[in-house]
A and B are shown apart, each in its own frame.
Chain A
């Protein structure tokens, strides 16, 4: 079967042109020829289409083979070029070869024409392959350099996508795996000649569903490159029904490659390349280049992500260490205060005995009272430290039993009245209300709230405790004071671990009370929230389910009331546990 051959003839004689065409047919080509005899005509012919070969007369009235070679060089075209001339001297032949002709022959010696064209077509194909391989190498070297330039994830993603255009594609799309294994559109880059609004619409589209037969989804699922060399009728049929079709049709894209991004055995996403109808369809060499590029891209993305994760982890660790140091310093200070008082008192008593001075009864009583109070304070601090340690390790368990809440609250109110002369403590409660709770832990929570109410109303006043049953069978306990309240800017943090609403050390403590209280309430399946009425003071609200479920997990961080979040409290068991 004759081979098609697009031959551009630089020739002033129509007869000679016909002769060449006949000889080509004889050599088993199916020639498609065009005769030009001026530079202008040749320029037009080059603009019009792609040629396989140029066959030129050496000298024409208004043009020449050497001028034609110059024009090809200007255009950067590497086409086989054969000079055919009537009378050819040695000098002429040398001049033609020097100017870049690949072969020359004398008109009439037609037997040489066929083999010469065969050879030159083969040589030209080899040269093209070599040039393409060289371009690919340069391109990949450039890509590696560009990708190694940044460790920022966003910058890397943009660079990855930009690299494919225009060398490999008119449109390059990056879809990345999210944490659920679905693809999310990461970046879209297009060649400058495309309508920007179309590429924008591609970037707004969601990535193909991971279960679909879209080539991007298949590449993602199988980890293998998908090539749609020609989006023929059949190809379009395959893509129909996907969102992507509209823009691809509108962009008149012809050919598509979807390459999985693989790093450390995982698919990170898919990098897709698409090429317009005015460029050759993708072939095996393009796939190889796309895979090389994707391999480098995946490595760069993986590196950038590892770096970001590492930096985040380091910052978190530093924050945790800082928080722990601060806590240790506060804890040490709080523990040292009662110890200072105990030791100084003991040593003073010993000194008095040493001096033989009489110990009057009043002094002895006062000393023992002090020892009692201060050792109790120490015991409470240590209990708090143990509680926080258990909570951090998830080892605080409840001992639930049917509890008379009215009696419990009344008892706590009596205790509070005994501790203060300047506050009144009022309880409003039904005659009887029982719930399935850990009485000691609930007592700890309410004692904390009542103590805070006393502490934060230093000039005295009324403290109200309300106990009732809400319609949803939840027990509600409210502790209300009319004291100094909590400064607005500090309210969001009062339930944070180690947080003290007041920086003044006189009102100090470990800053653990409310944090522990909330955790205990949440272990019961309830909520603890704070409200700050406009008329002043604070209102702490405990909501507890009356019946505990068998498996009550630590409650969520959902906040009622002031919407207190707990952003600082991200370090977990072990961070603190080791030192307590």
Chain B
């Protein structure tokens, strides 16, 4: 079965290029514009990894992470955000990793690879 990666990102250009790159590497990709949409995606199919922007409309990264733990779900999260304190934010929500924007595509692919076993 293909490992699914969920991208939670409000900027459509960034979200789409991330999705294209991961799809071309063989991952199944789901997309959400904010925390609420992400929770709905997870209801539909549980991803192996969540790539999470923190500054989001409706429900931001912190709110999303809290809701996730309230639901008793433990899905690894890598935060992808443009701030000088990415590491602090990652710790705050218990993320397994972080990527600072603007990121290198190669770093995106390697962090995803580290947290998802690529099928056969």
Contacts and interface: CB of A to CB of B under 8 A. Distances in A.
A421 to B, nearest CB: 15
Interface in A326-347: 329, 332-333, 336-345, 347
B69 interface: no
Most buried by A among B83, B105, B108: B105
B3 to A, nearest CB: 20
A351 B20 CA distance: 12
A225 B34 CA distance: 75
B10 A344 contact: no
A374 B102 CA distance: 13
Given A333-B55, A340-B82, A347 B104 contact: yes
B103 to A, nearest CB: 7
Contacts of B18: 344
A486 interface: no
- Indicate the member of B17, B24, B84 with the most A CB atoms within 10 Å: B17
Nearest to A334: B82
B13 to A, nearest CB: 4
Interface string B1-31: 0000000001101100110110010000000
Contacts of A373: 13
B28 to A, nearest CB: 18
A348 interface: yes
With a 10 A CB-CB cut-off, give which of A337, A338, A370 has the most chain B CB atoms.
A337
B14 A505 contact: no
Contacts of B106: 347
A470 B10 CA distance: 43
B117 interface: no
Nearest to A348: B21
A505 B11 CA distance: 10
A373 B16 CA distance: 15
A379 interface: no
B101 to A, nearest CB: 4
> Interface centre among A339, A345, A373, by most B CB within 10 Å?
A345
Contact of A339 (B24, B34, B102, B108): B102
Interface string A499-519: 000001111000000000000
Interface in B27-60: 33-34, 55-58
Contact of A504 (B13, B57, B82, B103): B57
A337 B14 contact: yes
B57 A345 contact: no
A507 B14 contact: no
A326 to B, nearest CB: 13
Nearest to A374: B13
B83 A341 contact: no
Given A340-B82, A506-B10, A351 B105 contact: yes
B103 A344 contact: yes
Chief secondary structure at chain A's binding surface: helix
A336 B86 CA distance: 14
Interface string A156-175: 00000000000000000000
B55 A344 contact: no
Contacts, number: 69
Given A333-B83, A505-B55, A506-B57, A340 B102 contact: yes
B57 A343 contact: no
Contacts of B33: 506
B105 A344 contact: yes
Contact of A344 (B14, B56, B83): B14
Given A332-B82, A337-B101, A348 B56 contact: no
A337 B105 contact: no
Contact of B17 (A341, A505, A507): A341
Contacts of A337: 11, 14, 82, 101
Contacts of B84: 329, 332
Contacts of B13: 338, 341, 345, 370, 373-374
Given A348-B17, A348-B20, A505-B55, A340 B105 contact: no
Contact of B102 (A329, A336, A506): A336
Contact of B11 (A332, A341, A347, A504): A341
B14 A504 contact: no
Nearest to B53: A505
B45 to A, nearest CB: 25
Interface string B85-120: 000000000000000011111101000000000000
A484 B22 CA distance: 36
Contact of B14 (A329, A333, A341): A341
A504 B105 CA distance: 27
B102 A505 contact: no
A336 B82 contact: yes
A332 B56 CA distance: 16
B102 A343 contact: yes
Contacts of B103: 340, 343-344
A333 B102 CA distance: 10
B36 to A, nearest CB: 12
Contacts of B82: 332-333, 336-337, 340
B42 to A, nearest CB: 21
Contacts of A374: 13
A349 to B, nearest CB: 10
A344 B21 contact: yes
Contacts of B101: 336-337, 339-340
B22 to A, nearest CB: 10
Contacts of B102: 336, 339-340, 342-344
Most buried by B among A339, A343, A507: A343
Nearest to B17: A344
A560 to B, nearest CB: 32
Contacts of A343: 102-105
8 contacts: A336-B102, A343-B103, A344-B17, A344-B18, A345-B13, A345-B17, A347-B104, A374-B13
Closest 3 CB pairs of A and B: A347-B105, A336-B82, A506-B57
Interface of B: 10-11, 13-14, 17-18, 20-21, 24, 33-34, 55-58, 82-84, 101-106, 108
Given A341-B11, A341-B14, A343-B105, 11 more contacts: A329-B84, A336-B82, A337-B11, A340-B82, A342-B102, A344-B105, A344-B108, A347-B104, A348-B21, A505-B10, A506-B33
Interface of A: 329, 332-333, 336-345, 347-348, 351-352, 370, 373-374, 504-507
